[in-house]
Structure 1
Amino acid sequence: MPASLRTVRHLLDSGTPRVLVSDLDGVLRVFDQGLWAELDAELGVDHGSSFRAMLGHPYLEEVTRGRGTHARWRELAVEHLVAAGAEPAGAGRAVDRWADTPATVDEGVLGLLDEVRAGGVPVFVFTNGTDRVPAELAQLGLDAVVGAHGEHLINSADLGHAKPDREAFERAHRRIEHQLSQERGGDVRADRGRGEPVHLRPGEVLFLDDSSRHVDGARAFGWQAVLHPSGAA
Structure 2
Amino acid sequence: MPRERASALLVDMDGVLRRWDPEVVAAVERRYDLPAGALYDTAMRWALLQPAITGQITHADWMATVVDALRVSGVDADRARAAVDEWQRYRGEVDKDVLTLIRQVRAAGIRVGLATNATDALDADLADLGLAGELDVVVNSSVLGAHKPTKEYFVEACRLVGAPPKRTLFVDDTDRAVSGARAAGLPAYRWDGPAGLPYLRAALAV
Q: How many residues align?
A: 195
CA contact (8 A) 2:4 2:167 kept: no
The counterpart of 2:63, out of the listed 65, 70, 74, is 74
Within the candidate set 122, 137, 143, 2:126 is matched to 137
The answer for the alignment partner of 2:157 in structure 1 is 172
Q: CA RMSD in A?
A: 2.1
Q: Does residue 116 in structure 1 map to residue 112 in structure 2?
A: no
**Distance in 2 of aligned mates of 1:26 and 1:42:** 25
**Which residue pairs with 2:169 in the alignment?**
206
Q: SS of 2:74's equivalent?
A: coil
- The equivalent of 1:217 in structure 2 is 180
Q: Are the structure 2 counterparts of residues 97 and 57 from structure 1 closer, same or farther at C-alpha, using a change threshold of 3 Å? A: farther
How far apart in 1 are the matches of 2:17 and 2:69?
29
2:155·2:165 contact (CA, 8 Å) conserved in 1? no
Q: 1:112 deviation in Å?
A: 0.4
Structure-1 residue corresponding to 2:32? 43
Checking the alignment, whether the CA contact within 8 Å between 1:26 and 1:231 is kept in structure 2 is no
Cα drift, residue 68 of structure 1: 1.2
Corresponding letter in the other structure for 2:180 = G
1:17 maps to which residue? 6
**Equivalent of 1:127 in 116, 131, 140:** 116
Cα deviation code 1:88-114 (max 9, x no counterpart): 111111111111113110000000000
**SS in structure 2 of the partner of residue 143 of structure 1:** coil
**Structure 1 runs, 4 residues or longer, greater than 3 Å off:** none
1:6-28 Cα shifts (integer Å, max 9, x gaps): xxxxx59x971000111011110
TM-score by length of 1: 0.77
- TM-score by structure 2 length? 0.87
CA contact (8 A) 1:45 1:85 kept: no
What is the one-letter code of the residue matched to 1:79? Answer: D
Instruction: Show the counterpart of 1:94.
Output: 83
The 3-state SS of whatever aligns with 1:145 is: coil
Alpha-carbon deviations, 1:105-148, whole Å to 9, x = none? Answer: 0000000000110111111111101011011101111112135x
Match of 1:160 in 2: 145
Equivalent residue, structure 2, for 1:107: 96
Residue type at the aligned position of 1:33: P
Q: Deviations over 1:133-179 (max 9, x none)?
A: 011101111112135xxxx11100111100011111112122223xx
Aligned counterpart for 1:84 among listed residues 73, 87, 93: 73
Residue 29 of structure 1 corresponds to: 18
